[in-house]
């Protein structure tokens, strides 16, 4: 019943044993994984990424230019990404957004890349997968300006406060919680998770990063999304099975329009 709404299966960390990783995910009860293809200087790596989607049942993709790579974004690159939005295995545009923590790309270029990709996603009528780190106010403002009429999306790996969550919820977005929800000293985040409407909740791993307790410090993988569901169930006073069903239904409504 579980869905991992955000992973990076094309990461080199998974090259030695991707088959085993996916087998463990199935054994853990996962039916669907959304893996993210990050376009950098060119579309070259996306050919391999698309083959990954073809080869593995239940694995779908999102494609976009990550804010770390915004310095490479050109309109021509957006034009190359756009037709892939019609592929049945591509469910969303992203991850895109702003990262003012690392600033691997200048802020001005991040903002321009973000705006341009939101416009293209709106034209394609595709949900967006949003990355925002230490740029929450700017992210909300741009979403309000560029995507208030869009088909919604998800704030992935959410760590911001309730006010930011509420602004995004008003725009029709979903809020996705990762293994961070299981960490110590995240009471404020768990309070946000308690207050987000049930029909807007998603869970994810962001694997191979951010492994939940008790795997913290190890390579994360989609099977561990069960630990996120268990913590969210505890926070919401529901069973893990209920959270699995709720987040699966939310994912399917957002990305499959069911």
Q: What CA–CA distance (Å, rounded) separates 247 from 238?
A: 12
pLDDT value, residue 181:
98
Residue 55's SS3 state is helix
Residue 4: which of 54, 53, 61 has the closest Cα? 61
DSSP H helices, 39-83, are: 44-55, 75-81
Burial of 237 (0-12, 13-18, 19+ CB in 10 A): exposed
3-state DSSP percent of the chain in helix, strand and coil, to 5 = 50, 20, 30
pLDDT value, residue 16:
97
User: Which residues of the chain carry a pLDDT beneath 50?
Assistant: none
pLDDT value, residue 104:
96
CA torsion sign for 191, 101, 36, 151 is positive
Q: What CA–CA distance (Å, rounded) separates 69 from 103?
A: 10
Residue 1: which of 24, 34, 31, 35 has the closest Cα? 31
By residue count, the chain amounts to 258
Q: What CA–CA distance (Å, rounded) separates 94 from 255?
A: 13
Q: Could you read off the pLDDT of 94-126 as tens digits, one per residue?
A: 999 999 999 999 999 999 999 999 999 999 999
Domain 2-12+21-255 fold = TIM Barrel (3.20.20)
pLDDT value, residue 42:
83
Q: What CA–CA distance (Å, rounded) separates 119 from 165?
A: 22
| Percentage of residues of the chain with pLDDT beyond 70 | 100
Question: In degrees rounded to 5, what are phi and psi of residue 146?
Answer: -105, -20
pLDDT value, residue 117:
98
Q: Give the residue extent of every domain in the chain.
A: 2-12+21-255
Q: Could you read off the pLDDT of 24-52 as tens digits, one per residue?
A: 999 999 999 999 999 988 888 898 999 99
């Amino acid at each position: 019943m579980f869905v991992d709404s955000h992973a990076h299966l094309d990461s080199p960390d998974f090259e030695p044993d991707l088959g085993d990783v996916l087998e463990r995910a199935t054994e853990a009860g996962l039916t669907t994984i959304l893996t993210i293809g990050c376009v950098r200087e060119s579309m070259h790596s996306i050919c391999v990424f698309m083959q990954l989607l073809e080869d593995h049942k239940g694995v779908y993709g999102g494609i976009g230019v990550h804010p770390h790579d915004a310095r490479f974004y050109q309109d021509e690159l957006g034009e190359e990404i756009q037709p892939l939005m019609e592929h049945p295995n591509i469910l969303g545009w992203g991850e895109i957004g702003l990262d003012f923590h690392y600033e691997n790309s200048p802020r001005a270029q991040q903002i321009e890349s973000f705006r341009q990709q939101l416009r293209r996603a709106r034209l394609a009528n595709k949900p967006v997968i949003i990355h925002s780190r230490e740029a929450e106010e700017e992210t909300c403002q741009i979403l309000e300006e560029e995507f208030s009429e869009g088909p919604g999306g998800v704030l992935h790996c959410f760590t911001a406060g309730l006010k930011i969550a509420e602004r995004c919820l008003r725009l029709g977005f979903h809020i996705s919680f990762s293994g961070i929800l299981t960490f110590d000293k995240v009471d404020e985040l768990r309070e946000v998770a308690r207050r987000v409407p049930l029909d807007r909740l998603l869970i994810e791993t962001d694997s191979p990063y951010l492994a939940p307790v008790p795997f913290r410090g190890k390579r994360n993988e989609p099977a561990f999304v069960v630990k996120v569901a268990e913590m969210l169930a505890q926070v919401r006073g529901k069973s893990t099975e209920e959270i699995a069903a709720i987040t699966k239904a939310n994912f399917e409504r957002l990305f499959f329009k069911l």
